[in-house]
Amino acid sequence: MVIKVYIASSSGSTAIKKQQQDVLGFLEANKIEFEEKDIAANEENRKWMRENVPEDSRPASGNPLPPRLFNDSRYLGDYDAFFEARENNAVYAFLGLTAPPGSKVGEQL
């Protein structure tokens, strides 16, 4: 199982940049392995992300914006879903991973 984080390296939105940094920083700090997929520099990544975000998770208009998280090809959610899981100490459950022993971040939702 590989956590994939779809980001845009050249986003003009400060909010998107901060959200991406927040997700990537958290994963790095907690030594959670992930792949960073840049949708700004790679058309295949952009196409794959847009096709694999479920209908009910898409914005009313326009395309889904990063950051978006997947476990292999299973859609996990956007920044808001990640943030909520982190606030509830349930990031490992959100990511579909087994929490390390003694980790309070591993509690179920």
Residue 109 has pLDDT above 50, yes or no: no
Encode pLDDT of 64-79 as tens digits: 999 999 999 999 999 9
Quickly tell me which residue has 């949708």 as its tokens: 39
Q: Which residues sit opposite 7 in a β-bridge?
A: 38
Is 8's pLDDT higher than 90? yes
> For the domain with range 3-62+75-95, which CATH number is right: 2.40.50.100, 2.60.40.10, 3.40.30.10, 2.40.128.720?
3.40.30.10
> Residue 75 corresponds to which tokens in the numbers above?
């859609």
80 φ, ψ (degrees, to nearest 5): -60, -40
**Mean pLDDT taken over the chain:** 92
The ranges assigned to domains in the chain are: 3-62+75-95
pLDDT at 100: 84
End-to-end CA distance of the chain: 20
Measuring CA to CA, which residue among 89, 93, 45 is closest to residue 67?
45
pTM for the full predicted model: 0.91
Residue 1 is predicted with a pLDDT of: 77
